[in-house]
Structure 1
Amino acid sequence: MPRELIVVAIATLPVFELRGSIPVALGLFQMTWWYGFCLSVVGNLIPVVPLLIALGPVSQRLSRFAIWDRFFQWLFARTRRRSDIVRRYGAVGLMLFVAIPLPVTGAWTGCVAAFLFGVDLMQALPAIILGVCIAGTVVTSLIKLGVVGAIIAGGALTFIALTSFMGWVRRDRA
């Protein structure tokens, strides 16, 4: 299997996402930072639109079966506990939630949080895209520059994304 496909595949997985694919791209496969970053971001974004569109209808239909009902109750309860920022701040909170490159805060959980807290698709999608790009930058910076570089890059990108996104949300509401 081509190494690019491996990186994209790892980035699409809900447990690893780009937190797993960027270290593989840069460390194991010795890709350039920008190539590994781009492949990882693209891979992480592949499931986003299908999840945002299908999560409601699919979970509703599958919840008729006891095993799936238990799974969705567990998933939704876990997501609610960890995503208070999305409940409080909507799309901006969603972007920040996805941007934190820690376990259980990536694009997959962001899609679940957007569904649970009723964040509109047209606001959730750009929020998740920005969050994934910020998380990817933080992970890449952490690998290439160490902790201080990751903090500086993550802080700067979050500030830029927040100011841009806040303007976009205000224009959308007007």
Structure 2
Amino acid sequence: MVPVPFIILYLKKLATFLSQRSASATRIMDLLFERARRKAAPVEEFQWLGLMLFVAVPFPGTGAWTGAIISSVLGMPFWSGFSANFVGVVLAGLLVNLLMNLGLKYAVITGLVLFFLSTVMWGVLRSLKKSLNAK
């Protein structure tokens, strides 16, 4: 969590500074931002909740650093992005701790159940959002 505030606050400023200095830095920053935008689709839809759930998933590439980059790219307010990252990191830590204490067999079963629940949850959230927007 230590670099998260710095990433949220200064990533765009750093990218602008580096882009003015070097063409290769521009390409690297464009690649970084494009990758963050691809990962940000569900986050962009639900903002704080989406970012928190994205960071809470304990898979490679879905942690606090990526969450901070996504928060910066989407232009989320600082405290909103920081708190979503913090809650997501805490939930991911609790989930990994739980899975490690369950043992392999129960961890696999729990992982499958959580995958199913998250799929259903995203569907419910999307339908709720559509129904709220229709009103």
**TM-score of the pair, normalised by structure 1:** 0.58
Q: Deviations for 1:66-117, whole angstroms, at most 9, x for unmatched residues?
A: 1211111111111111221111111111101111111111111101111111
Q: Which amino acid aligns with 2:30?
A: Q
Of 66, 73, 90 in structure 2, the residue corresponding to residue 116 of structure 1 is: 73
* TM-aligned CA distance change 1:55 to 1:105, over 3 Å: same
Give me the CA root mean square deviation. Answer: 2.2
What SS class does the counterpart of residue 79 from structure 1 fall into?
Answer: helix
The residue aligned with 1:132 is 89
SS of residue in 1 equivalent to 2:45? helix
Equivalents in 1 of 2:98, 2:62: separation in Å?
Answer: 18
Distance in 2 between residues matched to 1:59 and 1:132, nearest whole Å: 25
**Which of 35, 43, 63 is residue 78 of structure 1 equivalent to?**
35
Alpha-carbon separation, structure 2, partners of 1:51 and 1:120: 13
Describe the superposition over 1:131-150 as per-residue Cα deviations: whole angstroms up to 9, x where unpaired. Answer: 00111111222222141456
Q: Distance in 2 between matches of 1:89 and 1:132?
A: 18
Aligned equivalents of 2:66, 2:89: Cα separation in 1: 12
1:90 & 1:109 partners in 2: Cα distance?
14
The 2-side partners of 1:100 and 1:83 are apart by: 14
Verify: 1:46 aligned to 2:2, yes or no: yes
What does residue 165 of structure 1 align with?
none
Q: 1:46 to 1:151 in 2, by over 3 A?
A: farther
CA distance in 1, matches of 2:110, 2:50: 24
Alignment partners' CA distance in 1, 2:78 and 2:23:
29
Residue from 2, 7, 11 that aligns with 1:55? 11
Letter in 2 for 1:106: G
1:138 and 1:151 in contact (8 A); partners too: no
TM-score in terms of structure 2 length: 0.74
Question: Would the aligned equivalents of 1:99 and 1:133 in 2 still touch at CA under 8 Å?
Answer: yes
The answer to whether the aligner puts 1:87 opposite 2:52 as a matched pair is: no
Letter in 1 for 2:39: R
Once the 2 structures are TM-superposed, how far is the Cα of residue 152 of structure 1 from its aligned partner? 7.6
Residue identity over aligned pairs, in percent, reads 34
Higher relative contact order (CA 8 A, sep 6+): 2
Q: Report the residue type matching 1:76 in the other structure.
A: F
